[in-house]
Structure 1
């Protein structure tokens, strides 16, 4: 799998005939893996059999360290930003009027959009693990600060700050996940950590039910925010000490294990990370990559449901005739639906591929759900419809895996992830505004809009799949190109790398 070299200027050897046999490592804009191999005087050999899978002991070690942070941080992010959903039936609306509650949901995503480009830049130039830990601690403090807010203006301030600090998490987790796992492993594990959103809904529902029975001088929603904020701060401190910045800086691995990781992920052809910000990769993403804008608009349209239901689902359920306490409890199956959706789509894709077809299949339950909500007043049918609609919101995991599998070049990966989260935020920003106060309790126009957007997702998803197919065919028709050895860690983009193929 690898050999140790005694030369001062290490040369990485490679056995593929389509590439030159040696390359000298120079320059500071290489992937961190290249720098590690140079510093340790190590050569990787192209052993396809060895790189197919991790030794079980090493995989367990990586999963315990990396997946613990990915799952825990995504769980807390989703729960913390959606505490407003539960607070809507816990008394926070007493100090609000008109559309001010909807505006609190919107301002979070507006600030998220504003902060995303800066967050992506910091994710590249700063130590990834430490920066994420800082952001987790910061948003935990902001969540706790909600408990001291009594006015609309103060709530708008803390919601704005929460969006700023949470903006770095999802792009960071997507990149970290791709540093450690092969494409199929990454699909499965992305499904696992994205499913934590569903778990947060289940736990959040029970916590909301429990906190509504607490009687103190503080309102129940204030205590809820305070407790969750302190838990998040503690987890951020834990993350600081546990999460490495990349595989080559992982202090829980020895050098031989680090090399096994690099050998294992090289087939992804997406590298680990580079600390050099490359504007040319941004230009490629925005002006030359045919996937960019169809994916951007597909994300906006599909995530309108997430924003709408993330802020209003408990309120909608209460409109079916449930008390606020029972509404919080019957919200919990929403989380189970999200977990099922995330796990099902990720495992189907990891074994059979076909992301495009899976995405289309995930849209169908939402279409049926909104038709039910528009055509019947039956309480049980409406509840099932809410669960079906939330099942479909888990398609965000497919966007994450699309980004990981179909984007190379570290600056481009971060920018792609950031653009996805901007689109996610735009959709989530629009979603809460569909529900206008004068239409309660039916909110009919909002349900019609969500039905239309769910239908629109299908042709857009087909277009994304066709672009991938066309680009693969175009590369297949070109003559072979000679590349340097270990080119997988040269921070080439998916367009620059003639051997890169897109997942459909």
Structure 2
């Protein structure tokens, strides 16, 4: 009897040791794979977002460098509007091409093309020519955010996605800092042939083209072609995707997923409404922040340098919000909290205090603007099915573009220099975002409770890789 007990104890100890060793191996593998992804994939995503943000906002910095000399009335605002109108037009087409063709090859090609267009800005001397290049830039840049959202979902777990999207999204802040420094620096560059803003566009365009060529050959198309991972590491990433239940990328376009997205999914239009309302402020300050700063009484050089704190503020806000979501969840409440500073800032701007007060109030507007990063993460975590995910991401960027069309048009020439109608619209839309966000969170919670109460759905083995949508897979649970 003693021998049997001893043998039983040995077997139990052996099983416990094996389990411990397996857990240690899994944790070590998870750490190694995450580190490899962070070194190989994340820097590329950061560079893409940095360049797309800087390249599209060069127009804002060029406002202090003389680009408005040949523009009258609302023509400067129209240059921003046509960019986002083209973005909307190009988004469904570009999203389809990103799904249909190898992802890195398609994305790298679009980066090269938008770099060429940025460089072509330097050859423009008329309103018509600027409208043409802004249109082309909007079409080609519409590939960036959708591509980055999909790539983040291909390699990382849901909590990791939020953190990594936060990291590449803070490149908007970095680009803002770099843009302000470039604007200040290039204002001191004068030649007989080119104006300072033309040189700035030419240099940044060439840099983007070179990076696009690098992306074309360096970035893997999917997990299976990730050259920096061995077979065990690739299997680990696929297991992460299995747990996400959001599927891997497939080149097969499925119309029924688009029908579900547009007509059956209760979240689609709520996310669209939230994106538009929250990002009108982005459209406003993205094009007119330098102009607004000039209206406070600062000169061209000061207005360029005063964009530097904006970049630092964006970085702090996004990193704080995404890390809070990663560690604690509650994306609904954290998103709501980001609208409060913007509401306060809009109220202060309407009160029109001294120029320092105005400047600080304008800085507060960037809190609500930065919520787009949480929207990226939210739709990525709550959407399954390749075609549905691509086109939901596209719809998010269409909503973002609609907001960025509305934003600049609020700053009509007749309302200068106070621009009170624009400030009122910013205040109203940011207030509206609070109940919209809470409604989405409530719907997610109720849908999860409904699924928990239903009988367990019978699905085939490895159903996580069958490219099911979140509505088709009743094992799927929504993040809120």
- State the TM-score, normalized to the length of structure 2: 0.94
Q: Structure 2 matches for 1:252-267, cutoff 5 A?
A: 252-267=228-243
| Deviation at residue 248 of structure 1 after TM alignment | 0.9
Confirm or deny: 8 A CA contact 2:339 2:367 kept in the other structure.
no
Q: Which residue of 1 aligns with 2:320?
A: 344
Deviations 1:446-466 (A, max 9, x none): 101111111011111111111
Q: In the alignment, which of 429, 433, 457 is matched to residue 409 of structure 2?
A: 433
Secondary structure of 1:492 counterpart: coil
Q: Does 1:300 align with 2:297?
A: no
Displacement of 1:58 in angstroms is 2.6
Asked whether the 8 Å contact 1:65–1:242 carries over to 2, the reply is: no
Corresponding residue of 1:392: 368
| Other-structure match for 1:174 | 149
Q: Secondary structure at the match of 1:213?
A: coil
CA distance in 2, matches of 1:48, 1:212: 58
**In structure 1, how many angstroms separate the alpha carbons of the residues matched to 2:461 and 2:356?**
61
Q: Are 1:141 and 2:100 counterparts?
A: no
User: Corresponding residue for 1:363?
Assistant: 339
Structure 2: distance between partners of 1:271 and 1:50: 25
Match of 1:445 among 421, 433, 446: 421
RMSD of aligned Cα (Å): 1.3
Structure 1's consecutive aligned runs of 4 or more residues displaced over 4 angstroms after TM superposition are: 47-54
Which of the residues 75, 79, 100 maps onto 2:54? 79
Counterpart Cα distance in 1 of 2:433 and 2:29: 37
Q: Is the 8 A contact 1:338 1:392 kept in 2?
A: no
Cα separation, partners in 2 of 1:165 and 1:469, compared to 1, 3 Å: same
More divergent stretch after superposition (62-71 vs 146-155): 62-71
Does residue 354 in structure 1 map to residue 344 in structure 2? no
Question: Residues 287-338 of structure 1: CA distance to partner in whole angstroms, max 9, x if unpaired?
Answer: 1111000110111111100011000001101111111111000111111111
Pick closer, same or farther for the CA change 1:495–1:52 going to 2, 3 Å: farther
Judging changes above 3 Å, is the alpha-carbon distance between structure 1 residues 472 and 53 closer, same or farther for their aligned structure 2 residues? farther
Out of 116, 121, 129, the residue aligned to residue 96 of structure 2 is 121
Contact 2:60–2:288, Cα closer than 8 Å, also in 1: yes
Q: Does 1:276 align with 2:252?
A: yes
Q: CA deviation at 1:133?
A: 0.3
What TM-score results when the alignment is normalised by the length of structure 1? 0.89
Unaligned runs of 5+ in 2: 1-21
Indicate the SS of the match to 2:477.
coil
Separation (CA, whole Å) in 2 of partners of 1:168 and 1:212: 31
Q: How many residues align?
A: 458
Q: 1:494 to 1:446 in 2, by over 3 A?
A: same
Residues 355-382 of structure 1: CA deviation (Å, up to 9, x unaligned)? 1111110000100001111103311111
Q: Does structure 2 conserve the Cα–Cα contact (< 8 Å) formed by 1:342 and 1:394?
A: yes
SS in 2 for 1:463: helix
The aligned counterpart of 1:44 is none
For 2:40, the equivalent position in structure 1 comes to: 65
Gaps of 5+ in 1: 1-46
**Cα separation, 1, equivalents of 2:233 and 2:157:** 16
